[in-house]
Amino acid sequence: MADYTNYTNKEMQAVAIAKSIRNGQVVIVGTGLPLIGASLAKRVYAPKCNLIVESGLMDCSPIEVPRSVGDCRFMAHCSVQWPNVRFIGFEANEWLHDTDRLIAFIGGAQIDPYGNVNSTCIGDYNHPKTRFTGSGGANGISTYSNTIIMMQHEKRRFMDHIDYITSPGWIDGPDGRAKKGLPTNRGPQMVVTDRGILKFDEQSKRMYLAGYYPTSSPEDVAENTGFEIDVSRAVALDAPDPEVIRMIREEIDPGQAFIKVPQ
């Protein structure tokens, strides 16, 4: 008989993503953990949320996990198949009308204390040690939408100063976005990692530990963060319900495309 109590940190991360989504939100997702978390939210925590992808597909409800935002499996149960430019217009229009229903998931290779994300290069831009694929739609998303950032929690990723800002966060503090001409009513809301959930202080806009998983601890998070981080407000997060883990493994990602089931 299958054991649904032996959850992994990635499954815990997917559950944390799902719980961060509210009813009525329009959720920009890609593939991988954000899609699994958003699919779980639509089934359990926020059935009235609507999933969209930057390829232009709106109100998605995929049965089988797509492998990319251009995957035809995304198209099978979506309400509208827009060209990409219409998606960008929708995103900007949400900001222009000052709505608060759009939330987006982005990721990257590096992040700093203010939620600025690097997905462009490691090292000097002109002579990098490693070159990544770059922004895609992430810069536009982080400019016009509130974001939830997905990261693996390692000291080499959580840095005081990142090598390149691909997607802007709070820049360098509460007035950082204003100084750069960016919308000040948008920005990163939280970071979901494989060790816990981090949020941003309302006054300083600096990252702090809000919650840690049963498999982690405040000390563990601090040890794996490359800058000084406040862990004094952290609370222990509950383990996921076995029925939720069953749903991830049996219904959402049965082929283990993004989350491997422990042996």
* pLDDT for the residue numbered 125: 95
Q: Residue 90: what are its φ and ψ, rounded to 5°?
A: -60, -45
In the structure encoding, which two tokens stand for residue 213, read together?
């998983």
Q: What's the full length of the chain, in residues?
A: 263
Q: Are strands 117-118 and 121-123 parallel, antiparallel or unpaired?
A: unpaired
User: pLDDT value at position 71?
Assistant: 77
68 CB contacts (<8 Å, ≥6 apart)? 31
Q: Can you give the pLDDT at residue 64? A: 72
What domains does the chain contain, in order, with CATH numbers?
9-252 (3.40.1080.10)
Q: What is the pLDDT of residue 70?
A: 74
Q: What is the pLDDT along the chain (263 residues), one digit of tens a residue?
A: 789 999 999 999 999 999 999 999 999 998 889 999 999 999 999 999 999 988 888 898 877 777 777 777 777 778 888 888 888 888 888 988 888 899 999 999 999 999 999 999 999 999 999 999 899 889 999 999 999 999 999 999 999 999 999 999 999 999 999 999 999 999 999 999 999 999 999 999 999 999 999 999 999 999 999 999 999 999 999 999 999 999 999 999 998 988 999 87
Query: Which runs of E-coded beta strand occur in 91-226?
Result: 102-107, 110-111, 117-118, 121-123, 128-131, 146-150, 188-192, 196-200, 207-212
Active site residue 202: no
The H or E element containing residue 10 is: helix 9-20
pLDDT at 77 (0 to 100): 79
- How far is Cα 132 from Cα 118, in angstroms, rounded to an integer? 9
pTM, rounded to two decimals:
0.93
Q: Which of 216, 210, 209 is nearest to 194 (CA)?
A: 216
| Contact present, 220 and 236 (Cβ < 8 Å) | no
Q: Are 171 and 114 in contact (CB under 8 A)?
A: yes
Structure tokens at 42: 């639509």
- Sign of CA pseudo-dihedral 193, 195, 199, 201: negative
Where are the strands (E) in 56-141, listed by range? Answer: 57-58, 80-81, 102-107, 110-111, 117-118, 121-123, 128-131
pLDDT for residue 111: 98
| 54, 219, 243, 250: the active-site residue | 54
- Predicted pLDDT at 74: 77
Enumerate helices (H) and strands (E) in the chain, giving the number of each. 8, 14
Contact 209, 223 (CB under 8 A): no
Residue 217 is predicted with a pLDDT of 97
pLDDT of residue 263: 79
Q: How far apart are CA 48 and CA 86, in angstroms?
A: 23
